Structure 1
């Protein structure tokens, strides 16, 4: 039987492994950590009974992904779809909330409601067209050109100084800046807007900003179960640092190797052509995440009661403050008043903490490789909008950006997005190609956030890598072929 070896058990690695196992390959997954999942792991990081997501926490891209839809993730994992996708608290007890109900959001935004509707409704109503364009290689003709044009116009508006004229209130401007800041790059910018407009479209879609019951670990666990059911093997505690010493089979016999981590690992292969190696060395990694998880003696005491309804809360204040924070990081500095991305999953999922208690997942952006401990800076920012938060902390667990790569080699320097999210690297990821998952090494493929469609727990990079490998072997498998009974 033809062999397939996959390095990395994050959602992309496991997506590739599942597809290849279902296509008849003898698949082995090698994972450096002691558990599967990569950035989608859940663990008791603080105290017993408090279950924290190690990296990703909220997954709107999972339930809408073509791969995961074909896989049947809705039937294999329980999902929570909050009424409030995200919120942004402001000083004085004010807040802006992106409710899944767009009409409610518009009504509460007052003078900026019409502008928010005009920006988001064409995308949320035509989400499939947006996903077709953003979820595949960009060097192709989109299936829904009109939606692609609408998306492009809104990216142009949100990613330039035009947005200064779109939203006039603190609430509307902050709601937009908070979602754009997910991209961890300078603001305003077209690359941040490209990411933020997709997230805003998710926010007002039927699915909303869904997240799995019990934690992110449910996603890789479901994939691992399917892989094993189709004869695949997973070997944990198997870190691979040198491809030249790895026995992964014979490409002349059809054996393949899939790398689901950083493309930098390719540089250890002695046969890599120098031109391609130069391109891999030129691929840039971006700013990083410094993360801190909290075990709390009760929910976060937000001043504004509506913020209690939103699992995802963007803590950073006004548009100007968010932009100042993100631009400081882009210039290589740790911001004094950081934009903090927080998730409070236990408000709707009691399985995440003991009765009456709560977990809070947070991270702030810092320069790549930073040793900065985020605990105090994050605590101070949350306390600003939730007085008494500090008194509810039972325990905390911090991971500076400099330490993230040790637990997940794909997070180079603490970059959780798989490479700097610039406009150029949206197309050159990690090389400019109509099939960037294929490498010049026979039988070797890339399948990570460093390849299209980029970051997000959607499994699509893994599926594209597997599909490319199957096509190279003369097999034109589709998702419908591999998952005939999952729909």
Structure 2
């Protein structure tokens, strides 16, 4: 291992900035193509927001950021890497998801469609069959939809497949569904509150409100994936995904340098030729530089406004982050004592609000206020994977969204932790008596541990439609290419955005390989340059 502060320079075909899962995916794909790959990671550990550690009490494993991975499980990107050869295995909780209403009722999503349907039938006669009908509609489009989500823009193959399956009329109706607010989608699909709550709670994994355009597609996607494949977890924690990616890369000769914070992309004649790390060390890239960092960090900090088209720099002023996040992990001496025992077998629980409460919660965030009644996304990790804690105990986490800010007072954060615990105590009396350890990660702590989580924002930018597809991260091509030749954006600020599916990293690697082609590479370069000139002149 070479100290990042030493003098001189080191060369590789590709330099990847950041060892988050997208950076590691990109590095693996380039190594598969025979490239010599060097990954530079600012922190002392790989994985970005896909990591695990014992932070609450000895013997209790916590996933520090994300835990449940339906998109990762079905992602053709991760499946093609065959990470099972490197120790990655999956487990499922008995129930995928439960949404607890303030009146104590719960809508439950189980991998058996009949069980889900029976739960929703309790909220309105006929809603069980309506769920089964919605699931049949999903199964018609599931494969091409996943392809659309995980391939570069425009998604030609997936789009043509959808058109073939649905024909023109069906495709137009699907397009309408994809821009509906989740409240409206739920009203169209269900008569009762249960089905809509399942969709709306899933939609609020993003920063969108139930009334915001585009929230419906996120709720529909996550809920239907839950019905189709569940929300699986890696056995032994999220860290196992990272460990597998690292093992695969090093087996192929890839190198990772830790504590190597990149502070500048080196550019010569309009082309990225390497990077500089803090302390002045130079790292030369013969073929490409790929950056698994947020778009503002790449363009404004690592490249610099002077090397970019003024229109691009102006567009970045309108880049919107997703909301800040507050995450709490608890070590419990026993299972949660739920008032409604139906929640005891759910890996994920949504609680603290019905649909009206979700709207009020999102409205407070939109006004920059801390919600008095926070909506909680909660993970019972020992229910999903018993290896997370000693037998008979529970490794529990919950997170809630906050208004986006870069600075929070400690008393604000801890005051909101108290509100979160009050919601839990009300739903599970005796919860506080079971706590044997607690770890609080507010926005500042999340960003300190992973600099890409700016202000505790987990998604690399808002999920709103005005910052998706060819508008992500700013109006452009919707691709990994940047106006700097051989420099590619490989993080979640790029299309298709946040989530542990590896698509931004894979898209960047594919773009780098296309640009490097002997003949096709020049055609690719001229086409991208012409498109950027038309957009940013």
Same fold (TM over 0.5): yes
Give the direction of change, closer, same or farther, for the CA distance of 1:309–1:75 in structure 2 (3 Å limit): farther
* Closer, same or farther: CA 158–73 of 1 in aligned 2, 3 Å: farther
Residue by residue over 1:192-236, the C-alpha shift from the partner in whole angstroms, topping out at 9 and shown as x without a partner, is 22221110120111x211110111000011000011011111112
Question: What is the Cα deviation at residue 397 of structure 1?
Answer: 0.9
CA contact (8 A) 1:63 1:74 kept: no
Give the number of equivalent residue pairs.
473
Q: Does 1:12 align with 2:22?
A: yes
Structure 1 residue matching 2:328: 3-state secondary structure? strand
Q: Contact between 1:151 and 1:197, CA under 8 Å: does it hold in 2?
A: no
Residue 216 of structure 2 aligns with which residue?
Answer: 193
Which residue of the partner structure matches residue 497 of structure 2? 454
Residue 144 (str. 1) matches residue 162 (str. 2)? yes
Deviation at 1:148, TM superposition (A): 5.2
2:381 paired with 1:356: no
- The whole-number CA distance in structure 1 between the counterparts of 2:322 and 2:422 is 25
Aligned counterpart, 1:21: 31
Deviations 1:253-301 (A, max 9, x none): x431111011122213243333333333432112121111111111111
Tell whether 2:438 aligns with 1:396. Answer: yes
Aligned with residue 295 of structure 2, among 263, 278, 288: 263
Contact 2:12 2:38 in 1 (8 A): no
Q: Which residue of 1 aligns with 2:348?
A: 312
Q: State how far apart, in whole Å, the 2-side matches of 1:162 and 1:354 are.
A: 42
- Write the distance in 1 (CA, Å) between the matches of 2:327 and 2:15: 31
**Pairs within 5 Å for 1:122-133:** 122-133=137-148
Q: How much has 1:73 moved relative to structure 2?
A: 2.9
Matched, 1:387 2:429: yes
SS in 1 for 2:468: helix
Structure 2 counterpart of 1:216:
238
SS of 2:368 mapped into structure 1:
coil
Tell whether the 8 Å contact from 2:376 to 2:399 is kept in structure 1 after alignment. Answer: yes
Q: Distance in 2 between matches of 1:88 and 1:114?
A: 19
Comparing 38-47 with 375-384, which one deviates more in the overlay?
A: 375-384
> For structure 2, which runs of at least 5 residues remain unmatched after alignment?
1-10, 267-275, 522-537
* Superposition pairs of residues 199-348 of structure 1, within 5 angstroms: 199-205=222-228, 207-243=229-265, 245-246=276-277, 247-249=282-284, 254-265=286-297, 266-268=299-301, 269-270=303-304, 271-348=307-384
Q: What TM-score do you get using the length of structure 1 for normalisation?
A: 0.91
State which of 156, 160, 177 in structure 2 corresponds to 1:154.
Answer: 177
Q: CA shift at 1:150, angstroms?
A: 5.4
Task: Give me the whole-angstrom Cα distance separating, in 2, the residues matched to 1:151 and 1:209.
Answer: 24
Q: 1:149 to 1:214 in 2, by over 3 A?
A: farther
Q: Equivalents in 1 of 2:430, 2:173: separation in Å? A: 44
Q: Which residue of 1 aligns with 2:99?
A: 88
Structure 2 residue 460 is the aligned partner of structure 1 residue 418 = yes
Residue 106 (structure 1) aligned with residue 120 (structure 2): no
Alpha-carbon distance in 1 for matches of 2:208, 2:97: 20
CA distance in 2, matches of 1:460, 1:395: 36
SS class of match (2:284): coil
Structure 2 Cα separation of the partners of residues 323 and 183 of structure 1? 14
Counterpart Cα distance in 2 of 1:343 and 1:150: 34
Structure 2 SS opposite 1:282 = coil
Partner of residue 118, structure 1: 133
The answer to whether the 8 Å contact 1:280/1:431 transfers is: yes
Write the distance in 1 (CA, Å) between the matches of 2:71 and 2:175.
Answer: 19
Query: If the length of structure 2 is used for normalisation, what is the TM-score?
Result: 0.83
Greater Rg over alpha carbons, structure: 2
Residues 443, 106 of structure 1: CA spacing in aligned structure 2 closer, same or farther, 3 A cutoff? same
Counterparts in 2 of 1:351 and 1:257: CA distance versus 1, 3 Å = same
Whole-Å separation in 1 of the counterparts to 2:185 and 2:48: 38
Per mean C-alpha deviation after superposition, the further-off stretch among 434-443 and 355-364 is 434-443
